[in-house]
Chains A and B, each alone.
Chain A
Amino acid sequence: QSALTQPPSASGSPGQSVTISCTGSRSDVGGYDHVSWYQHHPGKAPKLMIYEVTRRPSGVPDRFSGSKSGNTASLTVSGLQAEDEADYYCNSYADGGRYIFGTGTRVTVL
């Protein structure tokens, strides 16, 4: 039950876009449309940003978007803002009724 693979870091200047990948297998990302993304600021609880691959909860800016192709899901943050600087984790439902998180990506706004 290995963690989903994310790049350790990503960065962009204000107004630019960053895309974070999340790679798993057919037993998780590739087998279910149950990929979600969380924003995590230190000292706070993670915040749901994307669910069911592409859907945004109420209150999440439309600058955040999600997609999936095969065993890899992606989160794109467009029009980067300073408050987007945080750690981002993907999560997928997996075989056996389990959930697997990604390794996490630190997004830096330059």
Chain B
Amino acid sequence: QIQLRQSGPGLVRPSQTLSLTCAISADTVSSDSVTWNWIRQSPSRGLEWLGRTYYRGQWYNDYAISVQSRITINPDTSKNQLSLQLNSVTSEDTAVYYCARAPSSGRFFDYWGQGTLVTVSS
């Protein structure tokens, strides 16, 4: 059974960098038949897709316009995981963050991590 297990700090200071990881079981980050995504949910903004990474002979990334100047999603093939970095955070970045898998045969999210509440506060 595919499992995504997230880890990372729950509190980040304003202007600092938010960093989360998502460890993958029963699939591989370098699979050429899926994409790996980060999504967040907040009361004010609902669900928001942040970006994705995927391998198709080489690594590709796509990012949401709203965060593209501040976000980096990286695969780690040695640990079979992906990471999220979001720079220069503000209180607007306070949210529950999820990693999620999308099969390339479709455009939907079929497996999700457990979610990580990240609060931006001094």
Give the interface of A toward B (CB within 8 A): 1, 3, 32, 34, 36, 38, 40, 44-46, 48, 51-52, 57, 89, 91, 93, 96-104
Contacts and interface: CB of A to CB of B under 8 A. Distances in A.
B46 interface: yes
Contacts of A98: 49, 62, 64-65
A48 B110 contact: yes
A36 B106 CA distance: 10
Contact of A40 (B41, B52, B64, B106): B41
Given A1-B64, A45-B113, A36 B46 contact: no
A6 to B, nearest CB: 9
Contacts of B108: 34, 36, 48, 51-52, 91
Nearest to B98: A45
Contacts, number: 66
Contacts of B109: 36, 38, 46, 48, 91
A61 B113 CA distance: 23
B36 interface: no
B47 A45 contact: no
B47 A101 contact: yes
Contact of B112 (A32, A45, A97): A45
Q: Contact size class for B? A: 20 to 34
| Residue in A48, A52, A97 whose Cβ sees the most chain B Cβ within 10 Å | A97
Contacts of B114: 45
B107 A34 contact: yes
Nearest to B63: A98
B66 interface: yes
Contacts of A48: 108-110
Contacts of B39: 101
B110 A57 contact: yes
A106 to B, nearest CB: 11
Interface string B75-109: 00000000000000000000000100000001111
A40 B109 CA distance: 13
Nearest to A34: B107
Given A32-B107, A36-B107, A44-B115, 9 more contacts: A1-B64, A3-B45, A3-B48, A45-B98, A52-B108, A57-B110, A89-B47, A98-B49, A99-B107
